[in-house]
Amino acid sequence: MDTALPIENLERYHSASQRARVATEAWASANLYCVNCDSPRLEPTPANFHATDFHCPKCRDPFQLKGQSKPFGNRIVDSAYSKMMAAIISDRAPHFVLLHYAPDRWRVLNLLLIPHFAIPKSAIEKRKPLSDTARRAGWIGCNIVLTSVPDIARVPIIVNGVAEKPSDVRRRFRHVRPLAELTVEERGWTLDVLTVVRSLRRTQFALDDVYAREDKLSRLHPDNRHVRDKIRQQLQVLRDKGLVEFLGRGSYRLR
Ligand SMILES: [Zn+2]
């Protein structure tokens, strides 16, 4: 994986943002590989004017590229809130590939994969409607809140300008892929409980440690009054999916 962005023929684009978009899309076409199978390439999806959409020619998994010149913060700006929510609910969201580049050196510094099945509804944040004076007044966009995606499901592909080995990237992806088998409704709970468990920052933990975060889960699921039952149930789901190990007597270990 070459981290240099292609800069040939960029002078015909007037704005810096256009040049950046063209360069990052060209880079993605030449360098992105599939994480779900062994395909060494992804293809731009036709029918899209902006080639930010890619798919795997082999397994057909869809990917969406999001480039930015600033380091990743907690939030990634996405498009329309209603469109993103509909995609999550119907399980049609693409995997997101977040690209952070150095605009002065035309280099990819960081590349992060967020699998579509790792984004719970709770990670989609509604933005303020555009003001009345805006061209698209009233339009509501959204943010993807990265800290609401379990850390284990944020898969680094390039870190500080150094590409990870594709075999390592695919291994990390495979580790969380069993979450894709869950229904969207259940997966939301599973991901939220996994985020809470991983935020304990301990390999071994007790049921009481998770119960102590009951409030956070209640806020995310205000309609459910049996949060403790749900926590126990989701720990079993996480065990079945190979992400948590039961040690007995209310004790658990992350895998
Ligand atoms: Zn593939």
- Cα separation, 215 vs 97, whole angstroms: 32
Distance 57 CA to ligand 1 centre (A): 7
Distance 132 CA to ligand 1 centre (A): 43
The DSSP bridge pattern shows strands 95-102 and 62-68 to be parallel
Distance 66 CA to ligand 1 centre (A): 19
Q: What is the pLDDT of residue 10?
A: 87
Q: What is the pLDDT of residue 213?
A: 96
Distance 42 CA to ligand 1 centre (A): 8
Residue 162 burial (C-beta neighbours within 10 Å; 0-12, 13-18, 19+): exposed
Distance 52 CA to ligand 1 centre (A): 17
Distance 223 CA to ligand 1 centre (A): 37
Q: What is the pLDDT of residue 11?
A: 87
Per run of 10 residues, the mean pLDDT along the chain (length 255 residues) is 91 89 93 98 78 89 94 91 94 95 94 97 94 91 95 97 98 97 95 96 96 95 92 97 94 94
Q: What is the pLDDT of residue 49?
A: 53
| Structural domains of the chain, ranges and CATH numbers in brackets | 10-181 (3.40.210.30), 185-254 (1.10.10.10)
Helix (H, G, I), strand (E, B) or coil at 64: strand
- Cα separation, 173 vs 35, whole angstroms: 7
Distance 26 CA to ligand 1 centre (A): 19
Residue 238 near residue 193 (C-beta atoms within 8 A): yes
